[in-house]
Amino acid sequence: MVWASVATAFFAGAALRAAPTTALANGIPSQPLAEALIRYAHETGLQVVYVSGLVRNQRSTEVPAGLAPQAALGRLLEGTGLHFQFVNARLVRIITAPSGTGAVAVAGADTPPAATEEVLITAHRSEAPENRIPVSLTVWTEEGMEVAGVRSTADIAAYTPGVEFDHYPEFGAGYSTNIAIRGINSNSGSTVGLYVDDTPLPATSGWGAGQNGGYGRAFPLTFDLERVEVLRGPQGTSFGSHAMGGVIRYISKLPDLESYEGQVHSEVSTTERGAPSYEAGAAAGGPIVADYLGFRASAWYRKEGGYVDRVDPFTGATVEADSNSSQSSVVRGALTLAPSQALHITPSLTYQDVRPHDTSSFFAHLSDPAVGILRNGKLLRQPDEDAYYLASLKISATVGVAELTAVTSYFDRHLTALTDLTNRGYGFGSPYGDEYPIAYGNAISKTTDVSERTFSQELRLSSAQPGSRLRWTMGVFYSHGHNRRAETRVAGPIPPRIAADGFNGVLESESQLAGFGEAALSLGKHLTASAGVRSTHFAYDSFQYAGGPANDGVPHGLRVMDSRQMVTPRFGLDYQVNGDTLVYGSVSSGAEPGGFNAATGGCAGLYPFFFGPDSLWSYEVGAKSAVLDNRAQLSVSVFHMSWRDKQQALYAAPQPALESVPTLCAYTANLGTAASDGVEASAQALIGSHLTAALGVAYVDARYTQTVRSGNAVSVTSGDAIGALPLVPSPLTLSGTLDYRFPVGADITANLYLADYFHPRNPGPFYSDNPESPAYALGRRPDPSVNVLNLRGALSWSHLELAMYLDNALDAGPTLSLRNECTQCKIFYATTLRPRTLGLAATWRF
């Protein structure tokens, strides 16, 4: 299934090849069974699927050349206790042999096919099947992402219940972003941990929060990933800070030491009332020296056509049609050196570059998204470029009865963006209001330049005996980062009645040192108790500077330093009713580091320079079960999360200054409490032999539980929904998919896929609806209900798959993220879904 927590394992790119009848051209030596099955798939062209745990610690029997495919597979499985079942002419399933028989099963045998196959995941830094992991999670496999058209974190969030992804439409081409899980929301998206394999990607809460803290994070693209794991709920014990709401892990494909595998992919699509898009990618991996040195390399590029026109705000004439196009590329490379079976050394390097040509937001008063009229009336094009390098060295070694893992990483990111501030309310003398310019010479630009450089290292030791009564992990983590943000504002040749020119920035370094440990003890045949704790010392040293007419005309600087200790424990109790059903309960904690408030111009001195960490406790019970002879998988979890010392955005009136823009000084303070309550459930089932259906639902009620005042004004009221309009997560998210696969010939397979995703409107109430709040904004509102229907059909034979897809098939055009640049500004901006898009894709696997 696309989003389901378990999925089919496809090997060696042979999933689309017909079952041959000719004998094996090459023999298969005795080796680990998983690697032998990959080699067998290459030799025969068969698709091989199995439950991952069946082959662990198994070794194959040598298979000589010249055997027929069925005889070869029977020989390969000798002594393993496993046998095989041909589901159809091209699909063979490895299953446990019935007691007392070694017979080969054929299509239609008594053993039914499963709804889905297990995928081993590493949610708690130890490998285990998903149905044994006591966490609410969703796993996206490579095939699942391909079928659903997932290319980015925004797609992952849109199609995963309980996850929200937004960007601030008035700020440039989308570099200001926000991501939240279970309604645990912040203005900088720093409550969700992002990991590429074992490397954390930096979050922003530690430097320049308040009005300047949400410039965005680096979100990995998804081409040639093995899978993406979405873990819901606090993960502070295993993954540290910035994991209060959950963690998203991007798991790369590792180099193969045994066999070669790869793919070439191309795609072209056209968007209604927009420009065409196209992409191309290639990936390959295999042994350089068999069993000793292997490689994996991939490259991908996409040019995405725009669908928002930039127009002249004075005449309405089109300046640039479909201006919100973008280019994305990612290149990955990795080597694995295995001097012995007990030691693996894997260096890797990833480069990613995302370049939106212009913002995807449009002027609400110039547009009508319901009929496809989308117009952006900014005087300036607002491009940005967000690029990063991630270098990593992972060393894994078996040391006695333990596994030693050392991961050293260096992350280097550079972002530049141009923002058009003209419509912020400087006052140009227009009869329509202060936000409206009267000539192109009124243009005011802000250039933002951001760099992040972070070195991190983790050393952990884990028990190497999965079946033992006591399983444990312990380790240390260290990171040190140097961050810089510089902003420059420049007014056009026709100055407004106030001065807008100015500059400001932040130079900051931050470090973390953490120790962690977790243990799970079996208390009998079915019951397991677990506990863990992580202690983190977080420190930062920042220097803020500002100058120019807009900042009182006098250059000035401010240094802020702080350090804090955060402790995040976790406790769990799991009951494995049988091999198919797990019931669990957990109590866990999460914390987010503190930071400092950027204070320039008339805002200087109005609020504290820094704020401390916030934290929450989560209480969760859940169950996972396979029923109907494994033809259906069910999962449900219920949770309550209590948030204290919440990092709350507050507002203060600015001091009289040269800049008289009608706005407020935003800052962050530790005030108030909040709670998030909800339920998550999923079900997937095999209906007949060819149709798989899945349904996912998440309901989250996230609210402030304490009224907070700022001076004489009410900032938030108890009962208000968490979040600032319009960036408030939908309380209910639903996803449903139908996946129908069937043979249409001896060597051709067809696949029909339908997916529907529904997000209803958040009913509130919201603090920015309260006239007593300084953040009161009459025109802002939550997003309306959103429903997206995607369709896909594919034909597969030999090495090739050809697919046609129709995204947003109903051409839904809701007005999303409706927002103005200040609470009293009259110009509103919004975004919408990409209009109906028809595409063709081809994939050649080898």
Task: Return the higher-pLDDT residue of 21 and 837.
Answer: 837
The pLDDT tens digits of the residues spanning 364-405 come to: 999 999 888 999 999 999 998 999 999 999 999 988 888 999
pLDDT at 210: 38
Residue 307 DSSP SS3: coil
Average pLDDT over residues 42-70: 77
At 189, the pLDDT band (50, 70, 90 cuts) reads: low
pLDDT at 395: 96
pLDDT at 25: 79
Instruction: Supply 468's token pair.
Output: 């033992």
pLDDT at 22: 64
Work out the percent of the chain whose per-residue pLDDT is above 70. Answer: 83
Q: Specify the DSSP class assigned to residue 76.
A: H
Average pLDDT over residues 485-491: 88
- The burial of 639, by beta-carbon neighbours within 10 Å (0-12 exposed, 13-18 middle, 19 or more buried), is given as buried
Lowest-confidence region among 363-377, 499-513, 531-545? 499-513
At 3, the pLDDT band (50, 70, 90 cuts) reads: very low
pLDDT at 188: 59
Q: How far is CA 770 from the centre of its chain?
A: 33
pLDDT at 208: 47
Average pLDDT over all residues of the chain: 83
> Does pLDDT of 605 surpass 80?
no
Residues sharing a CB contact under 8 Å with residue 482, sequence separation 6 or more, in sequence order? 452, 453, 454, 508, 509
At 172, the pLDDT band (50, 70, 90 cuts) reads: low
pLDDT at 376: 96
Residue 210 DSSP SS3: helix
> Does pLDDT of 664 surpass 70?
no
Q: Is 717:767 a contact under the CB 8 Å cutoff?
A: yes
pLDDT at 1: 36
Lowest-confidence region among 145-159, 546-560, 582-596, 688-702? 546-560
The pLDDT tens digits of the residues spanning 104-158 come to: 333 333 334 444 555 555 555 555 566 678 889 899 988 889 888 888 888 898 8
User: Shortest CA distance to 529 belongs to which of 134, 154, 58?
Assistant: 134
User: Residue 168 and residue 365: Cα distance in Å, rounded?
Assistant: 18
Task: Return the higher-pLDDT residue of 507 and 548.
Answer: 507
The pLDDT tens digits of the residues spanning 414-453 come to: 999 999 988 887 788 888 888 899 999 999 999 989 999 9
User: Shortest CA distance to 142 belongs to which of 53, 37, 11?
Assistant: 11
Task: Return the higher-pLDDT residue of 494 and 450.
Answer: 450
- Output Rg (C-alpha) for the chain, integer angstroms: 28
Lowest-confidence region among 223-232, 306-315, 704-713, 770-779? 770-779
pLDDT at 658: 38
> Does pLDDT of 662 surpass 70?
no
Residue 690 DSSP SS3: coil
What domains does the chain contain, in order, with CATH numbers?
A: 120-325+343-380+397-424+432-440+449-467+479-845 (2.40.170.20)
pLDDT at 318: 97
pLDDT at 281: 97
User: Residue 772 and residue 348: Cα distance in Å, rounded?
Assistant: 54
> Does pLDDT of 348 surpass 90?
yes
pLDDT at 10: 31
pLDDT at 835: 96
Residue 36 DSSP SS3: helix
User: Residue 688 and residue 702: Cα distance in Å, rounded?
Assistant: 40
User: Residue 593 and residue 538: Cα distance in Å, rounded?
Assistant: 7
Average pLDDT over residues 657-678: 70
Quickly tell me which residue has 């029923």 as its tokens.
627
* H/E run at residue 698: strand 691-704
The pLDDT tens digits of the residues spanning 239-294 come to: 988 888 999 999 999 898 988 989 999 999 999 999 999 999 999 999 999 999 99
Q: Is 305:330 a contact under the CB 8 Å cutoff?
A: no
Average pLDDT over residues 227-231: 93
Average pLDDT over residues 574-597: 87
The values of phi and psi at residue 769, to 5°, are -90, -10
> For residue 726, is the peptide bond before it cis, meaning its omega torsion is within 30 degrees of 0?
yes
Average pLDDT over residues 156-179: 74
Q: Is 663:685 a contact under the CB 8 Å cutoff?
A: no
- The burial of 746, by beta-carbon neighbours within 10 Å (0-12 exposed, 13-18 middle, 19 or more buried), is given as exposed
User: Residue 349 and residue 354: Cα distance in Å, rounded?
Assistant: 17
Is the Cα dihedral 187, 189, 190, 191 positive or negative? positive
Task: Give the bridge partners for 354, in sequence order.
Answer: 328, 386
pLDDT at 657: 42
> Does pLDDT of 206 surpass 70?
no
User: Residue 532 and residue 294: Cα distance in Å, rounded?
Assistant: 36
> Does pLDDT of 360 surpass 70?
yes
Task: Give the bridge partners for 265, in sequence order.
Answer: 281, 843
pLDDT at 253: 92
User: Residue 167 and residue 170: Cα distance in Å, rounded?
Assistant: 9
- 3-state helix, strand and coil shares in percent for the chain, rounded to the nearest 5: 10, 50, 40
Task: Return the higher-pLDDT residue of 641 and 594.
Answer: 641
Determine the length of the chain.
Answer: 846
